[in-house]
Every structure is written in structure tokens, then in C-alpha cells.
């Protein structure tokens, strides 16, 4: 499939990796639905991109919210053949800190958004893709999930985040195997340190130091570089059932 034939839904699509993906799809002649909780940013992006974009205020953990967004996308654009999961949260907290054990609600929240939210979108998007007319090789759609290098190199204080992202990476192959019979591919991208809103709160001096940790190039990743990889995954039918690290060869230290 080519991106000018793409109709995508992108969670977390109002900023960061998701926004860059939405912009890439539209720039290539495709259409994109922005699924995000940030109504002001989402609406502004959709208005900027014009008729090729839609915004739906969406809670990825809520079935009805996601279903409404997917229904609206298909109603407007006629089909859905790419789902990109970028919505995510992080909590930096030790399991046992100076104030005692981590509140288990924090762990629940991170897993609920990053893992259960991802699966919620995957299952509902795949059901829509099943209805597509098969293209070359019988392909009907592509799912791209977002893990993190923390799934493999989780640092102290990242237990909840690393666990949720490791689970996203872990479900990639079984999802790909199951959906293969329906012509749907499933891939995961595991970004390293990227210039996203999640890192925006870090002081500039600290961000520069993080960039110097990267083997090459010695800088933080750019959201556009994530979007370029999503484009290639969509267009390359042999990419299936794998997690790709997008990290400039970074291997994070324990802390």
C-alpha cells in the first residue's frame, strides 16, 4: 500500500510522535483522524490540515470513545487501513521510595493507558480493517504500536512505564500471527530519547546532556523521524511481527 491510499487513525495525534505521523500521512496525500484528549491542540491541527484531517476527542481506555472515533473516521473517509498508537503516559517513581511503596494506582494508570489503551484501539481498528477490499498480496491494513527502549533498558524509577512498554512489544508477534490470516500486519516501534512533550518538562541543559548520550547522531530524535519509519512500515509489506528500535544505538544505563 502507498501512503496516498492511506486512511489512518493516530492516537496521541495532537502532539509529538502522533502529530508528526498525522502530518506525514496528509503530506503524502492520505487522510488522518487525530485521536487525543487535548481538544484545543487536536482541533487546531485538524483545521490547519483541512479536509484530509479530522479530530475526535478520545480516551483510548474507553471502548465507546474509541469506537465512536473509528466509526466517524470510516463514515467520513470510507475506510480505515492504518492505526498508529502513540498515546501514552509515564510516571517516574521508585517502587519503594522515601515516602514508602509506590501507590499501586500509579502502576494501574500507566498500564491502563499504555497497554490496555493500545489493545483497545488495536482490536477495534482491526475489526474495521477486516471489511476492506484486499489489495496486493491480500493486504487489508497495518497496525503500528509504540513501545520504548525502556521496554528493554528500563531505568530505576521506570518500572511501571517499562512494564507497560515491554508488554506492547511482547504482544507484537502474537497479534501479527493472528491477524495474518486477515491480511493485517502488526509492527511496533521502540523509540529512544525523542523531542516530545514528555521530555519538554526536562530543563534544556539536561536535554542537551541526554542528547550527548546518544552514540550517533548525538542528539535527541525528532518526531519526523518516527513518522518516516511509520510511512516505510506502511509501504513495505515484508515488515510484520517485529519491534524496531529507533534509538541511535542508545542503551540506557541503570539510572
| Residues acting as catalytic residues | 161
Q: SS3 of 5, please?
A: helix
Q: Which residues contact 143 (CB under 8 A, 6 or more apart)?
A: 82, 83, 84, 85, 122, 125, 126, 175, 179, 184, 185, 186, 187
Nearest CA among 135, 5, 146, 9 for reference residue 82:
9
Q: How far apart are CA 163 and CA 150, in angstroms?
A: 8
Q: How far apart are CA 169 and CA 183, in angstroms?
A: 20
Q: Where is 190: in which H helix or E strand?
A: strand 184-191
**How far is C-alpha 245 from the chain's CA centre?**
13
Q: SS3 of 60, please?
A: coil
Q: What is the DSSP string of 64-94?
A: HHHHHHHHHHHHHHS---EEEE---------
Amino acid at each position: 500500500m502507498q501512503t496516498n491510499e492511506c486512511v489512518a487513525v493516530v492516537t496521541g495525534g495532537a502532539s509529538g510522535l502522533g502529530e508528526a505521523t498525522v502530518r506525514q500521512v496528509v503530506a503524502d496525500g492520505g487522510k488522518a483522524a487525530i485521536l487525543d484528549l487535548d481538544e484545543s491542540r487536536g482541533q487546531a491541527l485538524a483545521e490547519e490540515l483541512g479536509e484530509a484531517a479530522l479530530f475526535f476527542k478520545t480516551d483510548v481506555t474507553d471502548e465507546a470513545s474509541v469506537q465512536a472515533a473509528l466509526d466517524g473516521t470510516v463514515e467520513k473517509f470510507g475506510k480505515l487501513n492504518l492505526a498508529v498508537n502513540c498515546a501514552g503516559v509515564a510516571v517516574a517513581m521508585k517502587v519503594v521510595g522515601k515516602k514508602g511503596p509506590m501507590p499501586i494506582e500509579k502502576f494501574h494508570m500507566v498500564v491502563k493507558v499504555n497497554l490496555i489503551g493500545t489493545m483497545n484501539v488495536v482490536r477495534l481498528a482491526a475489526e474495521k480493517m477486516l471489511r476492506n477490499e484486499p489489495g496486493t498480496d491480500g493486504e487489508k491494513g497495518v497496525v503500528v504500536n509504540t513501545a520504548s527502549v525502556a521496554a528493554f533498558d528500563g531505568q530505576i524509577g521506570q518500572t511501571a512505564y517499562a512494564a507497560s512498554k515491554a508488554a506492547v512489544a511482547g504482544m507484537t508477534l502474537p497479534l501479527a500471527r493472528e491477524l495474518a490470516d486477515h491480511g493485517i500486519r502488526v509492527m511496533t516501534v521502540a523509540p529512544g530519547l525523542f523531542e516530545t512533550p514528555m521530555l519538554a518538562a526536562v530543563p534544556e541543559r539536561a536535554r542537551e546532556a541526554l542528547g550527548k548520550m546518544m552514540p550517533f547522531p548525538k542528539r535527541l530524535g525528532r518526531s519526523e523521524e518516527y513518522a518516516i519509519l511509520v510511512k516505510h512500515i506502511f509501504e513495505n509489506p515484508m515488515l510484520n511481527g517485529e519491534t524496531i528500535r529507533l534509538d541511535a544505538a542508545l542503551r540506557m544505563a541503570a539510572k
